[in-house]
Chain A
Amino acid sequence: MAAGVLSGVRQVFRGPRLVSAVFSCHGQTLSSASAAVKSAPDTAATEKILNFPLTQPDYFHLSELFTMKDLFEARVHLGHKKGCRHRLMGPYLFGSRLDIDIIDLEQTAEHLQRALNFTAHVAYRGGIILFVSRRRQFSQLIETTARECGEYAHTRYWKGGLLTNAPIQYSPGVRLPDLIVFFSTLNNVFQQHVGIRDAAKMNIPTVGIVDSNCNPSLIAYPVPGNDDTPVAMEMYCRLFKMTINRAKDKRRQMELLKGISASV
């Protein structure tokens, strides 16, 4: 039964991808379902489970997961030197002190809240989340995080057509990720990771931790913050893991409740 419900969810994502920007913090719902969704028999309960969370601004109570003080203590506000600054990161910076750019934590908190909320909603609806990073220092940590929350990771060399030529790279009928989370948007030669451009081409929403030397333009939910310090990375991994686990547990809970109410 649960499989039937989740296949309904998959049909939602199978349709032509209107970018599923869920502006839940504004209270509006722009559902990504195209008109041709076939309804299952127990549609009313399923649709309630899927649509009700989208009406709430913070359905999963993610604001209690972190405070600005936590971000400060994890050194998220430390950017790179002034000379490495990217032109488009200007608005996200608080200023610079002794030539080091300081990221505005108020904006970071807001962006992080939005990004975590979006991730939670995608996980709630059974979407595939892919963690990407090219920093070898944190590769093991990110892979472990992905394994622990039941999602996927790619912290290795990115082969050419992984997203754009998927039926050939994998097998015909493969399902692409529904959300890509970049823990570092640069690759090992300080150029923008190919995955950002490819995800934009394939209409896959992205969440990315952008440091002061990164380009935030193609990313759907940028989170300005430090991507070099181990403390900061551990914090991000912990936050994403807790969000995804919370969302999945909530979904299981709702399914159980639906099962109980249907049998009653």
Chain B
Amino acid sequence: SRRVSPELLPVRHICVSSSLWKKNLAAAGPQKFTQEFIDKQVEEFEIGKRHLANMMGEDPETFTQEDIDRSIAYLFPSGLFEKRARPVMKHPEEIFPKQTAIQWDAEGRPFHFLFYTGQQSYYSLLHDVYEKILAMERHQDKMRNKGLLTSETKQILLTGSRWLLKEEIEEYLVENISDHDYMRLIQLMEKLLSMPYCSLEEEFILKFRKQLEVQSSKHEIPALQYDPQGVTFSVADGRRKTAKASITLRDSGSGNITINGRNYLHYFPLLQDREQLMFPLHFVGMLGRFDVEGSVEGSGHSAQAGALRLAISRALLSFVSEGDVEKMRQAGLLTADPRIKERKKPGQEGARKKFTWKKR
């Protein structure tokens, strides 16, 4: 067949539906911002910060982020419940998501030697960790040859810290990794830790561990006050369901308990409620030492007993040692019981009870 030149071929009009012209929002992915755009935003933010400082009558040089937040909350008061929907003025770094810059130079050669794997930071991290393991093995062999190999080597303190979570590692690497990848990384770090000379890489390992806060330091200890008679006492509150209680613990040496002006035996005829009152004192072993004076209102007898128990435990914190505070926390004496009455739903008898089910 003879070859026809392109100019003489019949022109075909291809009809395309308008849906192809519309921007495919789903396929576009997250919006990309150029570096110039971000720089312009940073510039505008700095200028706006100075204007805001002048507006509020403060010094533009020493205007911090807390001052900005305070000023914006004052100038644009918002009643919206969702904090993230309120007006905000923050540095563009915190608002626009971090994007990876172009990964190759002018000739198109990528900068990182593991670029073509697709997950360069993660695999580079694995490579470095394994390199450290090999270096440690070589060090071990050297020590063994010299005859200096001992099992009493300096160990890294790991108590009170945990491995970084998968989300935190992703933030550190600026890359998405799968659960399997994360597990693999943690296994490799554990292998590094299992070697005798791991203290050589202590700094590197601690970069991937996060310190856990000591929970007991968060409790607010009520201040110790002094009576005109010289008796130490402390005051604390407690709540349970709708019952509110207030307790005054006096260090007088007698074991009297008075609630709402009446003796606890009269106020709580039930043994269970009285046991609730006793438990904090019994736990720290100071049963006969304190004079308890309490007032409580609301809810029923069990909730009132629970509220009083929490108040007594909180008041006790100022009389008790650090170790005992932690013990009380672990016993659950300092945790407020969050359970409240569940609401009734429409279409049901009560919170959970349903109407009689009829098959037909």
Contacts and interface: CB of A to CB of B under 8 A. Distances in A.
B115 interface: yes
A152 B107 contact: no
B104 interface: yes
A140 B115 contact: no
B103 interface: yes
Interface string B50-88: 000000000000000000000000000000000000000
A147 B113 contact: yes
B117 A156 contact: yes
Contacts of B127: 140, 143
Contacts of A159: 118
A162 B116 contact: yes
A174 B107 CA distance: 11
A10 to B, nearest CB: 6
Given A140-B127, A156-B123, A130 B107 contact: no
A258 to B, nearest CB: 18
Interface of A: 3, 6-7, 10, 126, 128, 130, 140, 143, 146-147, 150-154, 156, 159, 162, 169-171, 174-175, 177
Contact of B113 (A7, A126, A152, A171): A152
A146 B123 CA distance: 14
Contact of A140 (B102, B107, B114, B134): B134
Contact of B131 (A140, A152, A170, A174): A140
Contacts of B123: 156
Nearest to A149: B113
7 contacts: A128-B109, A140-B130, A140-B134, A170-B115, A171-B102, A174-B108, A177-B116
B106 interface: yes
Contact of A3 (B106, B118, B119, B130): B106
Given A140-B127, A140-B134, A171-B102, A152 B116 contact: yes
B255 interface: no
Nearest to B102: A171
Of the listed residues B116, B117, B119, B123, the one surrounded by the most CB atoms of chain A closer than 10 A to its CB is: B116
B110 interface: yes
Contacts of B116: 130, 152-154, 162, 177
Contacts of A170: 103, 115, 118
B114 A7 contact: no
A143 B103 CA distance: 19
Contacts of A162: 116, 118
A263 to B, nearest CB: 23
A151 B119 CA distance: 17
A126 B115 CA distance: 17
Given A126-B107, A150-B113, A171-B103, 18 more contacts: A3-B107, A10-B107, A126-B109, A140-B130, A152-B114, A153-B113, A154-B117, A156-B117, A156-B119, A156-B123, A159-B118, A162-B116, A170-B103, A170-B118, A174-B104, A175-B108, A175-B109, A177-B116
